[in-house]
Structure 1
């Protein structure tokens, strides 16, 4: 027995897998809950990393934090987006007072969703952003790129913000509360979709609006208006042409703007760790979808969407995982 004890005592302790922090979004939000589920089930799929979901104020915050915190570059993944990373590199005010050149060193692991940012109203006479003049507009938080930042960027560049009666960044649910309570005339919703709108996740504020059982309407954003914005600024917004009945309470086709939401890392993030992360994500998508609504979007084609559109933006470790999965060619 003493000999066995001696052997056991001399055996090397198994190394703990490296911890990877995933900076995401506010607690209770869909993306945060999905990555918390990923954290819980990851040990069934890998022993080479230990992901930890971290709640944050939102993707705009995440981009700024990672850019300013070099000691986190090799251990941190962030929830991000194409537009917010562009805005950081360009120094789009008021979100990024100065250009953050390091944002150009961010690399993509994968795409979480394709989004549609939609304005909504109870007033049938508000049909387009041009009708916002003199109205009260409420959005989510400005630290959240999909709920507040994108809308403010558009309104500022269109010259509409100074014409508003008020602009309030209240939060995803709170902006719909304000719309229903008569404290605003226009609110904001976000839809997360898989490729080609095959599956569409409508977050909690949708249900809040629907449960009020009052007529409400989407605000159509004319395609030329979005095209001009993209041409004038270079912002990588998507133009989202949504067929009738794709979303709830949508009897007519609408056009709006959107974005690829991303998982990003700094280019110095270890290649083997990036490979393991993406390989595990591709395998776990269906598992997460059992417990998290946003996880139902995570099929390989959606996760790999940016890999196919802009392979040059991929982290080398992620590229290896996509090639191995048959989503990219060598």
Structure 2
């Protein structure tokens, strides 16, 4: 009995001695890998700033930004179960929708070789992107994408969701423009911009981002390069009817907007175009508390980060919430929005829906 008592006392002492170590482990921030896009895309820089702010304030969760080939890569990588409980990622509403229903089909296998049948949960919105849903040219004879049959068209790479994939979908399902009736070239943004300047292509995609009120516009370096040319830059819009056709065909939620004149460089007239909504997202198995802490950290830090990077300049609660719904939001994110008093705002905005 004495031996048993001594052993029990020893075990108790060891347990007490281990308490500070256990407490230290419990207090160690949870590190969350965050899949982004190629270096220089914007989020790689803005989310590094967010990581630093989270570390400075002692947040219980820290995001670890990771450069990737892009959003098409991210959605396929997130099909791997090893990411489901520990990784968040940058994506767009339309990327999730296409991966759910169209991956591996004749319509999309060029861009998505297989389906990713996961209804990912949204954490917060970060940017509206327009590239691939309007075009630019120096040719005054091109008035509409319908005029592009037989033309040389510079689009982004097949792994780039907006630059290379959505532009093809808009052209084909909105206007009937395909590689069979036009010279479509998939190039890097820098290369296609230079080819447009050199006259090697007739029309091309370019980029800008914004937020729901269109108060703040993020002009991309390629668009700034076109602005600097002495040639008369012309914007080629995409009609609401074309956006509606694409959405009806694919079950997507491209948003149609008419952008007032003067919002873009050398934009003399209103521009009809489409947008996708960019989000941070995670698998449904991603821990609720971690999702909650991520959203709360963004809500706390975003106002002061407006002065640190252009992507944070467009931040607002409305941008975070636009597109969220009871069906698509992560439960931890919703808990944060309810606590912040913001959740009722989602009723004002069209929700991101997932195809059956």
TM-score, normalized by length of structure 1? Answer: 0.91
Matched, 1:123 2:123: no
How many positions carry a matched residue from both structures?
Answer: 319
Displacement of 1:280 in angstroms is 0.5
CA contact (8 A) 1:142 1:148 kept: yes
Name 2:99's counterpart in structure 1: 88
1:256 is paired with a residue whose SS is strand
Residues 289-320 of structure 1, C-alpha deviations (whole Å, 9 max, x = no match): 2221111112222112123xx33210000001
| CA RMSD between the two structures | 2.0
1:284 Cα deviation (Å)? Answer: 1.5
Say if 2:98 and 2:250, in contact at 8 Å, map to a contact too: no
Partner of residue 86, structure 2: 75
Tell me if 1:227 matches 2:238. no
The structure 2 residue matched to 1:326, chosen from 336, 341, 345, is: 341
Distance 1:44 1:260 in 2: 29
- 2:6 aligns with none
Alignment partner of 2:160 out of 144, 167, 177: 144
SS at match of 1:197: coil
Aligned to 1:109: 123
Moved more, 73-82 or 155-164: 155-164
Separation in 2 of the partners of 1:46 and 1:150? Answer: 40
Question: In the aligned structure 1, how far is the partner of 2:301 from the partner of 2:230?
Answer: 37
1:114-169 CA-to-partner distances (Å, cap 9, x unmatched) read 22232111111111111111111112222221221110122232431135442122
Map of 1:168-183 to 2, 5 A cutoff?
168-183=185-200
**Matching of residues 288-307 of structure 1 within 5 Å:** 288-307=305-324
3-state SS, counterpart of residue 313 of structure 2: helix
Which blocks of at least 5 consecutive residues in structure 1 are unaligned?
1-6
Is the aligned partner of 1:216 residue 2:230?
no
CA distance in 1, matches of 2:121, 2:99: 14
1:202 pairs with 203, 219, 224, which one? 219
**Aligned residue in 2 for 1:31:** 43
SS in 1 for 2:264: coil
Match of 1:314?
329
Contact 1:140/1:174 (<8 A) preserved: no
Cα drift, residue 242 of structure 1: 0.8
Tell me the equivalent position of 2:279: 262
* Conserved 8 A contact 1:111-1:303: yes
Q: Quote the Cα distance in structure 1 between the aligned partners of 2:55 and 2:340.
A: 20
Indicate the structure (1 or 2) with the bigger Cα radius of gyration.
2
* SS of residue matched to 1:260: strand
The 8 Å contact of residues 154 and 204 in structure 2, kept in 1 or not, is answered as yes
The Cα of 1:217 is off from its aligned counterpart by 0.7
**Aligned partner of residue 21 in structure 2, secondary structure:** coil
Q: State the Cα distance separating 1:223 from its structure 2 match.
A: 1.7
What displacement does 1:208 show? 1.1
CA–CA distance in 2 between the matches of 1:288 and 1:140?
A: 30
The answer to whether the aligner puts 1:49 opposite 2:66 as a matched pair is no
How far apart, in 2, do the equivalents of 1:267 and 1:9 lie?
34
CA deviation string 1:157-212 (max 9, x = no partner)? 24311354421221222221111122211111222111121211111111111122
Distance in structure 1 (CA, Å) of the matches to 2:296 and 2:323? 16
Matching residue within 47, 72, 75 for 1:60? 72
Identify the residue that residue 12 of structure 1 maps to in structure 2: 21
TM-score, normalising length from structure 2?
A: 0.85
Is the 8 Å Cα contact of residues 173 and 204 (structure 1) preserved in structure 2?
A: no
